[in-house]
Each structure stands twice: as structure tokens, then as C-alpha cells.
Structure 1
Amino acid sequence: MSSTELPSVPAVTVTPKVSTVRVASGEKLRSVGLPGVTLNLRSRPPARPGLPPALYVHGLGGSSQNWSALMPLLDGLVDSEALDLPGFGDSPPPDDGDYSLTGHARVVIRYLDSAGRGPVHLFGNSMGGAVATRVAAVRPDLVRTLTLVSPALPEIRAQRTAWPTALLAVPGVAALFTRYTRGWSAEQRVRGVTALCYGDPSSVTPEGFRNAVEEMERRLALPYFWDAMARSARGIVNAYTLGGQHGLWRQAERVLAPTLLVYGGRDQLVSYRMAQRAARAFRESRLLTLPDAGHVAMMEHPETVATAFRELLADTGELAEAGATGARS
């Protein structure tokens, strides 16, 4: 993939969002229309004018809500905005049905170009980490820093606990799984996801669990839910097979932005052993390992991730720049 494959496209509509999607205190939702795709965006009012922008990209099966615990902790550092990738959260499917990693990266770049928000502090989790890596590699002008939480980069030997997710990429498996699990309640599904993604599932509060169940019920009612999951999983698997300049590890080596890597010791989807390889691949990187965290450290340990991000800004001079920008505004 080259930068010429990811064209700049102006936004055509921006409207307030009225939805049943849960909105945390201080958050706002809005829709942005781009040619062929409509994106739901979750944002927080900046603590002061002039703060540098940040964009957060969720993982497979996730949504912009996955960043709601971290974003308020960064209110004084960045102007936060999280998107729902097409087919996830409250964003409808893309018109062209493209759920590949390249397709998702293209959407992120189109949004940043149309909004004029770049360069941003770019965050990505899991699949969103792979998407963010690709964006940073092909459009370095759009990325100030890169923060990757359990990025879905290729592994030669994936953990057995990650196989069911990969199997969703096989044609027909999603439909088979849907039939097999037809009798499962939303509560049962959330318990399964929590056990898979959290290092300590008991850390989820009763309120957080209830909210997750409500969101699961809403999304299961969407006619495209499983299609978006299966096609995006297929996109990850296909990206893993690419070699040469299009390979994700090769693109990681091309990233110029200072990079914070966050890995959890109890991650059942992205192996903890990949942390050192990632630290070597990204040329200007720092590594935060959390032995007790699972796949979603920004939800389990948001304060720790926020502290590490602040240190990244301080060490790269971005923290002083953000303060100076705010003072001038």
C-alpha cells in the first residue's frame, strides 16, 4: 500500500449524533459523512483551546467506547476524539464492503485529511493498532506520536486462545457460529468476551458489566454485526500474509513517530512474547509491560497508560509544546 492509494477526500456532512449508544459524562457524539462511509465520532471538550488533537482507533468487535476510561485522564494534554470504524459501534457498514486493514486505514486517513486535524497523537488497540501502524507508515505527516495497546501484528505461532477469533475469517464460520450460539444471552456473551479480553475479569464493575450487556444487545440486533466481524477478521488474516513493503512488520520499521507500546502479560489474543519484537521494530519506541493486564490495558489500567503517555510527551518535547500552545490560545 502506498500513500497514493489513500486519497484525501473532503467531508461532506457533519451532524450532531442522536443515538441509543451510551455516552459517558462529558462526551459528545456526532456523525461525519465521507464519500462512501459515515463515521460516528466520540469526543470530549478540550480542557483549553489549542491542545494538540488525538484520535483513538478500537479493535475487532470494539467501539469508540473502549477509550472512554482513558480519554478523560488526558483532558489536559490532548483534544480527544475516538471513532467507530465502519460496521462497528454506531458507524454503518461502508458502501463498498471493504473491511480490510487497508480499507480501515484509508477511512482513518480520509477523516483526518477532511477534518484537517492532523498531525494527531494516534492511539490504536488490537486491530486498531495494526490500522494505526499502517496509517503512521504511509502518512507520517498525519501522526505526532503513536500509542499501540496490544497491536495485532503478525505472529508465526498464535496463542490457542486467539484461534476462535481467527476462525471467524473462514467463509461460513460466522454463520455457523451464529446458529450455534443462537440461544446465548447477551450476558453470557459479555462474560465470554470479558474473560477473553481482561487480565482480571473481576475488575469489571457491576455498572460496567450492565453497560456492556446493553451494548451487546444493541449490536446483536444490527443486521450487519456478524458480517462486519467476519470480514474484518478476514482482513487481519489477509494482512498477516502480506510480505515486502506491504507487510505490517516492514511498515512498523518505517514509522517515524515516537511510539509507546503497551503489552499485557495475561493477554490471550496478542502474545506477550511479541513485545520485544515490536520494541525492536519501531525505531523510536518505548515499551510498557503490564504483567496483570489482558488485551485492553487502556480499559483495565487507564491511569498507568495515561502516565506512560504523559512521559512520552515529556520526553519528546510534545508536552511542553502542548502547554505552550494552550498558553498562547
Structure 2
Amino acid sequence: MPHATSHDGARIWYEAIGSGPPLVLLAGQANDHRWWDSVRDDFAAAHRTVVLDHLGTGDSDSPAEAEYSTRRFAADVIAVLDALGLARAHVYGTSMGGKVAQRVALDHPHRVGALVLGCTSAGGAEAVRASAEVSRSLVGAGPEARRALAELMYTPEWTRAHPGPHRTLGSPMRLPARRGHLRASNAHDAAAELGRIGAPTLVLHGTDDLLTPPDNARLLARDIPGAELVLLDGARHAYFEEQRELAAKVVLDFLSRHPMPAASGTGVERDGR
């Protein structure tokens, strides 16, 4: 299986499928690349889609002592692009993956074509947090917490029609890594830096997202120069899956209007293996 090597020697699993301009898909907190399983083919028809397992998830390393931060996860993304021989890629991150995508665009601007930020937040003092009731419902790792998370991800009507398994409810992880992901997401604060993002940016969010309230999307769109904002009516946190057809169309249309610069290159490997 393919792995990139990060700055501290940690191995980061990745996979690339499809053809066309490269598009990196970044999963949410405590989730591996399977977060994208149900929708990835929507993008692979037009893009060379790249997925990876964040440090501590899936087939990436999970060292006992490791730095967990959105900045570190962003550096891991760059290690994957380097392993694939990609000078530049579009980046689409959701939830914590959207926070990582912000850091990729801020710390490595020359590596990003267009940027898509879904169901995410810039962090900082202005960020709108989940309510205390929502936070309490997620305490622990038992069936009740899992049911509460599923209700935050999807509407009841959708889960009745799609009983699962749902790939967005967390990956098997060692406890130190799980705690590291939580710290990384909670500590993220790019609010004061958003004005430096130069990549064309689309902000996507469900109007009924209680896990990351939609006012966070409005703040991102306000502070990122030229950002476009699309709110998906009635969608919860996993809008990209429940409103798959509409969400994919919005993203693909946006990317088609912001083609990759010709000098970015298309990579030296065909499938990442």
C-alpha cells in the first residue's frame, strides 16, 4: 500500500484514483478516508481524487508520541502531494478536514488550486460552537453517543432510508490518537489569517447543522477574499452524503470555473500505488 513520509518520519497512507486535475479530499475528525466512500466516484469522473488517512487513523501510523494539530495535518497533505509528484491540487475539506484545508491554503498557498470548505469553522473567539446539549450528547463512545452523532450527521428520514453502515461516525483509533484529533480540532484558530487566503474559495454548509452551526460558514465567507457561500437547505453535518447530487454538482461546477494553472503539473504516477 502506498505511504508518504511526513517530516517526522510518520507514514501517511494515501490513494489516488481517476484522471484529470487533482483534487484532495480531507475527512473529518477521528475519521479515515472511508468518510468519502459513498461520494468519491462523483468526483473521480472529472478529477484525479486523492484521499489519505490522517495520522492516527486507518493505515497511517499512530505513534504513541506525536504532534496533533491542523498545521501538522496540513504538512502531511503536502507530503502526500510530494509523493505523488503533484505541484498543486484543488483541496476539499469537510469538518476538521476543512480546518486542515484552511491551513494548507495558508501555509502552502502555492500548492493549492481552488479551495472548498465544508461544514467547518475558522475557530477563534468568533466561532459559533455547538450547544452544551449537543456536546453532552457526544460524551463517551457507546451506542448512545453514536446514535447522537448519527442524528447530528443526517436527518431521521435519510437514516431510515439509508440504515448504514455510515462511514462518517468515526474510525477505530487508539485513545491517544483520538484525543489528539479532538485537541487539534478544538485548538484550530485561523480566523485572523483568513484574509491571506488567495485561492478561489467555496464555502458549503447545511442550514440545519447543529454540530458546526452554519454561522461559521458565514464568517468564513465574510473573511476569505472573494469566497462564495452556498447553504444547503435542511442539511445537517454530512450534507455531502445526504444531499449528494446537489452538493457534488455545486463543487464540480465551482472547480470547473477555476481550472488548475497550467504550470501546476499533473503528477508522475497514475494511481498512487
TM bucket, shorter chain? 0.7 to 0.9
DSSP 3-state at the match of 1:204? helix
Paired with 2:42 and 2:237, the residues of 1 have a C-alpha distance of 20
User: TM-score with structure 2 length normalisation?
Assistant: 0.83
The answer to whether 1:108 aligns with 2:77 is: yes
Residues 1-329 of structure 1 mapped to structure 2, 5 A cutoff: 16=1, 30-34=2-6, 35-44=8-17, 46=18, 48=19, 51-94=20-63, 96-154=65-123, 155-160=126-131, 161=133, 163-164=135-136, 184-185=142-143, 188-198=144-154, 200-204=155-159, 209-210=164-165, 212=167, 219=172, 222=173, 224=174, 226-240=175-189, 248-316=190-258, 318=259
Which sections of structure 1, spanning at least 5 residues, go unmatched?
1-15, 17-29, 169-176, 241-247
Contact 2:128–2:212 (CA under 8 A) maintained in structure 1: no
Q: In the alignment, which residue of structure 1 is the partner of 2:271?
A: none
Q: Point out which structure has higher relative CO (alpha carbons under 8 A, 6+ apart).
A: 2
- Equivalent residue letter for 1:256: G
DSSP 3-state at the match of 2:23? strand
Paired with 1:103 and 1:267, the residues of 2 have a C-alpha distance of 27
Q: CA deviation at 1:130?
A: 0.8
- Equivalent residue letter for 1:73: D
Paired with 1:192 and 1:162, the residues of 2 have a C-alpha distance of 8
Q: CA deviation at 1:132?
A: 0.6
Paired with 2:260 and 2:156, the residues of 1 have a C-alpha distance of 34
Bigger radius of gyration: 1
Contact 1:101–1:130 (CA under 8 A) maintained in structure 2: yes
- Give the aligned length: 259
Q: CA deviation at 1:300?
A: 1.6
Contact 1:257–1:284 (CA under 8 A) maintained in structure 2: no
Paired with 2:261 and 2:177, the residues of 1 have a C-alpha distance of 41
Contact 1:134–1:251 (CA under 8 A) maintained in structure 2: no
Contact 1:266–1:294 (CA under 8 A) maintained in structure 2: yes
Q: Per the alignment, do residues 55 and 89 of structure 1 end up closer, same or farther by CA in structure 2, a change over 3 Å counting?
A: same
User: Over residues 154-179 of structure 1, what are the superposed CA-to-partner deviations in whole Å (9 max), with x where a residue is unaligned?
Assistant: 244423155349xx9xxxxxxxx65x
User: Over residues 217-263 of structure 1, what are the superposed CA-to-partner deviations in whole Å (9 max), with x where a residue is unaligned?
Assistant: x71xx5x1x322222211233234xxxxxxx0233221111111101
Between structures 1 and 2, the one with greater helix share: 1
Q: Per the alignment, do residues 258 and 208 of structure 1 end up closer, same or farther by CA in structure 2, a change over 3 Å counting?
A: farther
